[in-house]
Structure 1
Amino acid sequence: MPATTSAAPSGTHSGTKSRKKKGRRARLLVIVLVLALVAGVGYGTYWGISTVRASFPQTTGEIKVSGLSGAVDVKRDAYGIPQIYADTDEDLFRAQGYVQAQDRFYEMDVRRHMTSGRLSEMFGSSQVKTDSFLRTLGWRRVAQKEYDTKLSPSTKKYLRAYAAGVNAYLKGKDGKQISVEYAALGLTNDYKPEKWTPVDSVAWLKAMAWDLRGNMQDEIDRSLMTSRLTGKQIDDLYPAYPTSRNKPIVQQGGISPVTGTFDPEATPTGSLGGTTNTTNTASDAVSGMQSQLSSLSDSLDEIPSLLGPSGSGIGSNSWVVAGKYTTTGKPLLANDPHLAPQLPSIWYQMGLHCRTVSSTCHYDVAGYTFSGMPGVVIGHNQNIAWGFTNLGADVTDLYLEKVTDTGYLYDGREKPFTTRKETIKVAGGKSKTIVVRETNNGPLVSDRDTELAKVGETAPVTAAAPDRGNGYAVALKWTALQPGNAMDAVFELDRAKDWTGFRAAAKDFDVPSQNMIYADTQGNIGYQAPGTIPVRAKGDDGTMPAPGWDSAYAWKKDPIPFDQLPYEYNPERGYIVTANQAVIDAKKYPYLLTEDWGYGTRSQRITALITQKTKDGGKISTEDMQKMQMDNSSEIAKLLTPYLLKLNIKDPDVRDAQKLLESWEYNQDSDSAAAAYFNAVWRNVLKLAFGNKLPKELRAKGDCLNVPPADKSTVPADEQNKLVRECGQRSADSAQPDGGDRWFEVVRNLLDKPDSDWWKAPRTRLDPATHNRDELLARAMKDARWELTAKLGKDMDTWSWGRLHQLMLTNQTLGTDGPGILQWMLNRGPYNLSGGEAAVDATGWNAAGGYDVIWVPSMRMVVNLADPDKSRWINLTGASGHAYSAHYTDQTEKWANGELLKWSFSKAAVDSSTVDTLVLKP
């Protein structure tokens, strides 16, 4: 998003002169700011101190904070990670708000403007389209309803205390005293931060839910495929989950016929669903609407993803091992959520401690928090530990609506829209007012795009569609657009003492739906699937947009009851692994959770690592858990490499590259030439086998970035433009798979079908057509050889996976669209990384766009339930959001190397690791 905006035209000659003077003055101020920042980096001069360090937090001494009832200690270790000690709950969360604002307020401010659809107030007219879409979804309105009607009195009290702490920090400060980004931002639009509110915190949960919403993109993509592929071919590209090979999370149990609740010991029951078969009608309803659905896909891309890019491949790992298999005799729990790399990291490490746990102060908890939201999201307290991965439940449906100017059709009758006006204020420009229309299936997201506004006008009349009239619109039904209790769940988790308390908290964790793993100091382990998950009519699998005019497609009134959701408690096998695989065998569970799971590549690898270690009486240590998190073995390479090595390659240069794979053990280390070559082969296999067969609407995103990483600065501008033009043509002509583990499964199923049509690729100017598997694989090996020659050089001794597979840490606003010199100063990298797509060390890349890292294990933790002080943790960046703070990226190198930091929890351990103490006083 842009960092700055220009003043709106005034229409007068004198106004033009004034703007030119302002523009020159703004440019001069940018130069002064940059020089001051540079001085801060290199020399610590007066200018550097006054400009850069003005916003650094005070971490020692005393500060008076209004509203506190007693003194609060803030103890920071050598990495700037704070541990807060207080005597009341309200003091604890007031201090949390103050401290997080010290380190991260700019990040918090941008985030709340995003969740409320107010980015244009900060960044100008370029954000109006995004704001319009976000206002249509109405995250902030739903958050307000949650606060007003759903949240408990204690949660509201904590939210108010947190907001008061943030505002105590802001009081009397101007922008440049808060963060250097405000100094740059204020040059053109004079933006001023406003006070924090409790609803600002609640709205963040809606952004979480959006990024983890499930299969909406797959729903659109399948619909687009119908223009070019048969049903059988689409099934080829969305294969069934391999339950027999990649075990689901919950491996036994079902709905008890006696109690009607889920019981891990029960025999699975039959179907509880409806009776109407809807699938064929849903498929008919999207006929002829591919261009409009493609526009919807593009519109969805306009919404910033705070947690990570959508699509297959992104996910998280968590697993817990019971004491009978650990060196400590108590459980060990690991978690590493895979999210978008950001600077600062999405996570903020912190401890929240009552000096004495009592009826007036309930918390003794530490872990990972979100800046802008009170409590700890993932971590442990004195009794239990927990972790999250995305469950991936299908909680969204797109409905095609038959509309007129005034209403929409439902069961043969026209119903009026529910409408509201939203005014979007624009920095440096005129405000814009939009009208949001809603049906009983949700807001019309198609209203936000001129193409979408015409959706369905050219769609053929089918048995599924009524007379067209003014056409169709697209509505979004999503569980997160109903008020819920997820904020209550955060505090309930933080103070839970046992399995019963943990499950009670899980019951309130309605959105986003997450896999929740558990361990306690008594030696118990467990898993719970929570969330508000809709019940659809039988036969409606949620994989295609549905006709909203037919009540047969409506969700049932009530979602899946919490007591019928799958769980495990102390399973006999002694471990639980969640890595976005299927929760339970769909044939043994009566409700549809989703048809679009991750395909279990990571979960099965983690399971294999656990069982290999524990066979013959072996025990797992904290260090073993850490090593498992860094496992970078390529499962697709294990499958595909034997086929590549059997090929009779005649070209000596390609044959030399083939030899790299002969002794390779499938590890994707950053210095591995074999890993670089194999991943290039894999990418070219996907291009050749599928790229020319998919609809052009599924075009590749990001392929224009595929300039050799080491040479970007030296590529002439005219050549860069040529690359961009060529990329745009490639993207328009074909689509490219992203290469996630769904594609692993697709290719696995085709390898024993060497004459499948999928292996056929057309001829080019340089290459003949391919007619079978071996011909296509050989051509992919040749293309990969010359691609890497262009990127890394002809000498294979200089090749390495890390030179291709690089991470750039980017400030999420000025670091993406600010002045180039400012981007250079706020961003960090590149880092050459090990790991890869669907590896346990999931440094993900999208084969459609190149090899750069686009999602990462955003943090890693291993909790030792025998002795919490022997637990370990790491963050992607650091505690601070201030560029040039010592704690801006002081954990990144260790993170990249797979190291973990000591995680102090007890008072004695925290005191031992403390280097700075700040006392907040009433």
Structure 2
Amino acid sequence: MKSKIIKEFIVVIITIGFIFILTTSFGIIPALGNFLNPFGVWTVPDSAEYPESLIIEDANLISQVQVKIDIYGVPHIHAENDEDLFFALGYMHSYNRLFEMDIFRKYASGKLSEFLGAEYIEIDKFYKLLGFYRAAEKELTDMQENHTRIYQLIQKYCSGVNKYISDFSTKLPLEYHLLSVKPEPWKPIDVLIFRYLQAWELAPSTYDLDFTLLKKKLPDNVFDELYPNWTVGLPFEDPIIPNIKSNSPKNFKNTIVNTIVGISSFIREIPTILGPIEQGIGSNNWVVNGSKSSTGSPILCGDPHLAHQIPSIWFEAHLISNENNGGLKYETHGVGFPGVPFLVIGHNAHIAWTLTNTGGDSIVDYYNETVNDTHYYYNSEWNPLKIFEIPIDIKGGKKVYFTVKETCHGPLISDLLDNSYFNEYPHNDISIKILSNNLPRNGRYCAYKTLYGINRACNYSVYNESLSFWDSPAQNFVFADKNGDIAMNIAGAFPIRKKGVSGAPDGNLTGRFVQPGNGTGEEWAGFIPYSELPQILNPSQGYLASANQRPINGSYPYYLGTNSWSNGYRARRINDVLRNKDKFSVNDMKSLQAENYDYSVSQFLPILIETWNYSINAGETFSSEVRRAMNELYEWNLSEQRFIMNRSLIAPTIYWKWIELFEYNTWSDEFADWSVSGLKLPDIKILEYVTKFERDSKWFNDTRVAGTQDRNHTLIKSLNDTVDWLKINLNSDINKWKWNSAHKVFFQHLSLIESLNRGPYPHDGSNWAINNAGGIWDPIEKAYIVQFGPSWRMVVNLGNFSSPVESWGVYPGGQNSNPLSSHYDDLLGLWLNYQYHDIYFSSQPEEIVESNFLFRK
């Protein structure tokens, strides 16, 4: 009772601070005339903490379900059957994260305006045009016909969500009271649609547009040099799948400029939920077998890198069903997305798995169409456009319509440039062909069947069969089991293309550029069979690792993508560590996940130091500030912290700005000459190559000044520029250039209400450290602000058949989205300090149980 009074007092204080919101918009929150409704925000403390016990009754339940909620807010759900299990999970998701779930479905459905107001119309148009909702309707029909069991379980999950919405209709989460809105019932289509948003955001969706512009504006030999289809010739890569080779597909040239600039700009303006792929968003996973493990059994590790937000993108749960399915019961611990009934990453008593983003060119192609008001030209004839009006409901009751026109490839995305803030671009008619709208709906693909199957799997054979149904987003799945097996599988629907309407399928065709829409370009002809996607079981090296690097090398017969992979620095470091040590303990693996060693520093800094020494010996003079900065780098290179982006050091700040300016000074003059400034720069692997092996490369010559400059000139110029920039933008005192001042991590609340954010906190790491922490410079904060990175760290020791699985995990945030809850951010401190919580898989002793829920008829 005392704790409740304290919480209500806190609410009163918060309310006083919010009074101005009654007449003022703030973030996504409008003026709140009914803020003081006694059934509104005043009920928030009632759901802030789990009750000691709670009984939920529903006539649709088959048996009782017991839920033990542990000290970290993680529900351990014990059910007699799968239907009741997912009913209870739906209830627990909505109990903790209903508003987050609602925002995600509104976002993917193009319905933000009905929730947040007219300023979100352009975002809604974009997602309605992409057609995720229409694609989900088709998948739902396919699921009802071909994957009935999965559909039934999704229905039960939705029933659990709706039970909570009904039971707590007067005690909804804070955000509903602030926005004066209520949640609609949860439907199976809401479960499906979020995955399409994931696939879109995790794919390089504008790269085809960028490459088309670059191919148009750069001389052919220059484009091929800086943006090769494959970088097989560079000696720097550790591919995900060892010993699988790939070919070098041919380029196909196309042209159009204004429209492409407009579309690319429009897409980049759309905010993302998962994080910006251009910044290096990715993930790490790796596994060692028993021969390289101090435990004698496989150890599997994973940390997907997604957007940092409050509440977290993940929800942790332990799911147990006694239903017998092939002699196995469902018992899995891991994380999934609120709003989705199946765990995405985790382990059961037999296997463990996690995943990283493949990042291949598998989601979209673009076509330059020939159209009039009613028809488009394709295959030597005029065909009728599909034209339909799409409504957008706006908060307050208003409704607007916009017209979507479709060719056989897909909707005319260029139409979004009309009546938008990008209508200054005169444009051609470009359609977008998106994977979600073009998958075969004949039972071939069902990603939720994959998740249900691998959650239950007992060995690699069952797991591998389940993966065959996965479509998108394409992922690198790493696996281990109690048999001692380890594996890496790339799973997803990768289009095979053909040249022209009647061409034969050709694995060399790339779809890398905007294609002619008249039927003479590259058309989709099917998908790579799952059995022919890259995969490996029990490699002789005893380990496997992926960090979004190139999946394959050599002679692999299909095109998976190009220039969309990570630069490979995280992968090179992980492979170096796993390759060069005989045995790894669990603590070794935890330390590796937290490692802030930036592999790029090891490649570039020694060259800078060598060049500096040469310059000093040649009699060059430098300011005292530049000498001091170089001394910091010198000492860093000789210390135990060598190449480590540690927050307590000055050198990481100097290096990070220096590598940025070295890239800029190398490429910016030519890019300005060719009018392609602002487009995707060449991969840093290209810069590494010319820096190491082509000291007199033309790229180091600055075309904007007289004379000829070489590599050494550009290296030293970038150092001088770095010191000047940091003095102006960070601090005039070099002693205050520590990485903890210049590099901070920030967690923004979905509502954009500042008081609900967390951070910014001083932070280690960088884009290219295993602890992925890339940031964007904020001139107000005077720091690189990190808003994506490891979103869930997990380490699993599989053990043998006589010992249980052991596991540890953590994500930044907390299980409950209520800002008054002790589980709002209780895991954040662990995450910031590279610590984990124990995962209570084998048992949940009473001392770690803080609440008990009972579901019954």
TM-score scaled by length of structure 2 = 0.87
Query: In 2 relative to 1, CA 509–875 (structure 1 residues): closer, same or farther, beyond 3 Å?
Result: same
Residue aligning to 1:572:
540
Residue in structure 2 matched with residue 880 of structure 1 by the alignment: 816
Q: What letter matches 1:757 in structure 2?
A: K
Map of 1:53 onto structure 2: 45
Counterpart CA distance in 2 for 1:691 and 1:112 is 41
Query: 1:449 & 1:202 partners in 2: Cα distance?
Result: 29
Match of 2:765 in 1: 835
Is residue 206–residue 480 contact of structure 1 (8 Å, CA) maintained in 2?
Answer: no
Structure-2 residue corresponding to 1:604? 572
Listed one character per residue, the Cα deviations across residues 327-353 of structure 1 (whole Å, up to 9, x for unaligned) are 111100001111111111111111001
Q: How does 1:657-736 map to 2 (within 5 A)?
A: 657-664=629-636, 665-694=642-671, 734-735=677-678
1:769-788 → structure 2 map (5 Å cutoff) = 771-788=709-726
SS in structure 2 of the partner of residue 50 of structure 1: helix
For 1:51 and 1:312, how far apart are their aligned partners in 2?
40
Match 1:904 to one of 820, 836, 840: 840
Residue in 2 that maps onto 1:441: 409
- Give me the whole-angstrom Cα distance separating, in 2, the residues matched to 1:334 and 1:690: 37
578 and 59 in structure 1: CA distance in 2 versus 1, 3 angstrom threshold: farther
1:48/1:895 Cα in 2 relative to 1: closer, same or farther (>3 Å)? farther
Q: Tell whether the 8 Å contact from 2:356 to 2:476 is kept in structure 1 after alignment.
A: yes
* Residue number in structure 2 paired with 1:26: 22
Aligned to 1:330: 297
Per-residue deviation, 1:474: 3.0
User: Contact 2:41–2:174 (CA<8 Å) still a contact in 1?
Assistant: no
Paired residue for 1:465? none
Question: Distance in 2 between the 1:421 and 1:549 partners?
Answer: 25
Per-residue CA deviation, residues 786-818 of structure 1 (Å, 9 max, x unaligned), is 222234423333321122111110012x21xxx
Of residues 264, 270, 283 in structure 2, which corresponds to 1:297? 264
1:358 Cα offset (Å): 5.5
Which residue matches 1:532? 493
Paired with 1:447 and 1:90, the residues of 2 have a C-alpha distance of 44
Alignment counterpart, residue 831 of structure 2, candidates 863, 887, 895: 895
Change in CA separation of 1:698 and 1:568 when aligned onto 2, cut-off 3 Å:
farther
Aligned partner letter, 1:368: V
Structure 2: which 5+ residue stretches go unaligned?
Answer: 1-18, 33-37, 499-505, 616-620, 637-641
Which piece of structure 1 moves more, 888-897 or 196-205?
888-897
Distance between the aligned counterparts of 1:424 and 1:693, measured in 2?
45
Alpha-carbon distance in structure 1 between the residues aligned to 2:665 and 2:184: 53
Between the aligned partners of 1:453 and 1:905, the Cα distance in structure 2 is: 52
Q: Tell me, in whole angstroms, the C-alpha distance in 2 between the residues paired with 1:688 and 1:494.
A: 50
* CA distance 1:112–1:905, change in 2 (3 Å): same
CA distance in 1, matches of 2:275, 2:539: 32
Residue-by-residue CA offset, 1:502-554 (whole Å, 9 max, x unaligned)? 11111011111111111101111111111111112345322211112124511
Q: Deviations over 1:343-374 (max 9, x none)?
A: 11111111001257557994100101110000
Deviation at 1:746, TM superposition (A): 2.7
Name the counterpart of 1:919: 854
1:497 positional shift: 1.2
The residue matched to 1:350 in structure 2 has which SS? Answer: strand
Out of 539, 550, 555, the position equivalent to 1:588 is: 555
Q: Which amino acid aligns with 2:164?
A: Y
Is this contact kept in 1: 2:647–2:739, CA < 8 A? Answer: yes
1:755 aligned partner, one-letter code: D
In 2, Cα distance between the equivalents of 1:686 and 1:454? 29
The answer for the alignment partner of 2:313 in structure 1 is 346
Kindly indicate whether the alpha-carbon contact (under 8 Å) linking 1:686 and 1:737 is maintained by their aligned counterparts in 2.
no
Q: What does the per-residue CA deviation read over 1:68-88, in whole Å, with 9 as the maximum and x for residues that have no partner? A: 222222212221111111111
Residues 212-239 of structure 1: CA deviation (Å, up to 9, x unaligned): 22x3322222222245422233334325
Q: TM-score, normalised by structure 1?
A: 0.81
Which residue does 2:786 correspond to in 1?
A: 853
- Cα contact 1:130–1:302 (8 A) shared by 2: no
Per the TM alignment, residue 762 of structure 1 is displaced from its structure 2 partner at its CA by 6.4
Partner Cα distance (1:520, 1:771) in 2: 56
**Displacement after TM superposition at 1:761 (Å):** 3.7
Contact 2:209 2:514 in 1 (8 A): yes
- Paired position in structure 2 for 1:731: none
Whole-Å separation in 1 of the counterparts to 2:828 and 2:20: 38
How far is 1:123 from its partner? 0.9
Q: Which amino acid aligns with 1:851?
A: Y
How far apart in 2 are the matches of 1:479 and 1:527?
A: 25
Q: Aligned partners of 1:200, 1:828: CA distance in 2, in Å? A: 29
C-alpha displacement at 1:406, in angstroms? 1.1
> What letter corresponds to residue 862 of structure 1 in structure 2?
V
Corresponding residue number in structure 2 for 1:746: 687
1:251 and 2:251 aligned: no
2:653 aligned counterpart, secondary structure: helix
Cα separation, partners in 2 of 1:688 and 1:427, compared to 1, 3 Å? same
> Taking structure 1 as reference, are residues 576 and 454 closer, same or farther at Cα in structure 2, changes over 3 Å only?
closer
Name the counterpart of 1:468: none
Which structure features the higher share of strand residues?
2
Please point out which of 527, 544, 554 is paired with 1:559.
527
Q: Give yes or no for the alignment of 1:825 onto 2:755.
A: yes
| 1:223 alignment partner, one of 203, 212, 228 | 212
Mapped to 1, the partners of 2:817 and 2:313 lie a distance apart of 10
Give 1:651 shift.
1.3
Paired with 1:874 and 1:630, the residues of 2 have a C-alpha distance of: 12
1:807-852 per-residue CA deviation (whole Å, 9 max, x = no partner) reads: 110012x21xxxxxxx221111001111101211111235799722
Q: Is the 8 Å Cα contact of residues 747 and 787 (structure 2) preserved in structure 1? A: no
- 1:463 matched residue in structure 2: none
| Aligned residues of 2:122 and 2:420 also touching (Cα < 8 A) | no
Which letter does structure 2 place at the counterpart of 1:544?
F
1:654 lines up with 2:626 in the alignment? yes
Higher mean C-alpha deviation, range 230-239 or range 412-421: 230-239
Given that 1:456 and 1:472 are in contact with CA atoms closer than 8 Å, whether structure 2 keeps it comes out as: no
Q: Does 1:631 align with 2:603?
A: no
Q: Which moved more, 1:576-585 or 1:446-455?
A: 446-455
CA distance in 1, matches of 2:852, 2:324: 22
Q: Give the C-alpha shift of residue 676 in structure 1.
A: 0.7
CA distance in 2: counterparts of 1:687 and 1:543, whole angstroms: 25
Query: Do 1:862 and 1:873's aligned partners in 2 also have CA atoms closer than 8 Å?
Result: yes
Q: Which amino acid aligns with 1:621?
A: S
1:185-232 superposed Cα distances (whole Å, 9 cap, x missing partner): 11xxxx22111111101111111111122x332222222224542223
2:470 alignment counterpart: 509
* Counterpart mapping for 1:188-587 below 5 A: 191-213=181-203, 215-226=204-215, 228-239=217-228, 240-242=230-232, 244-252=235-243, 279-280=251-252, 283=253, 285-286=254-255, 289-311=256-278, 313-355=280-322, 357=324, 362-395=329-362, 396-428=364-396, 430-450=398-418, 471-479=428-436, 481-482=438-439, 483=441, 484-537=445-498, 538=506, 540-556=509-525, 558-585=526-553, 587=554
Residue 163 (str. 1) matches residue 124 (str. 2): no
Confirm or deny: 8 A CA contact 2:596 2:646 kept in the other structure.
yes
Aligned residues: 795
Residues 610 and 24 of structure 1, relative CA distance in 2, 3 Å threshold: closer
Cα distance in 2 for residues equivalent to 1:426 and 1:479: 26
Maintained 8 Å contact 1:88/1:360: no
1:241 is displaced (CA, Å) by: 2.6
| Cα gap change, 1:253 to 1:658, in 2 (>3 Å) | closer
Q: Does the Cα contact within 8 Å between 1:247 and 1:600 map onto a contact in 2?
A: yes
Contact 1:454 1:473 in 2 (8 A): no
1:713 maps to: none
> CA offset at residue 127 of structure 1?
1.0
CA distance in 2, matches of 1:825, 1:91: 38
Alignment of 1:103-122 (within 5 A): 103-122=96-115
Structure 1 residues 244 and 763, CA, compared in 2 at 3 Å: closer, same or farther? closer
SS at 1:171's partner residue? helix
Which residue of the partner structure matches residue 744 of structure 2?
Answer: 806
Q: 1:72 to 1:477 in 2, by over 3 A?
A: closer
Give, in angstroms, the shift of residue 60 of structure 1: 2.5
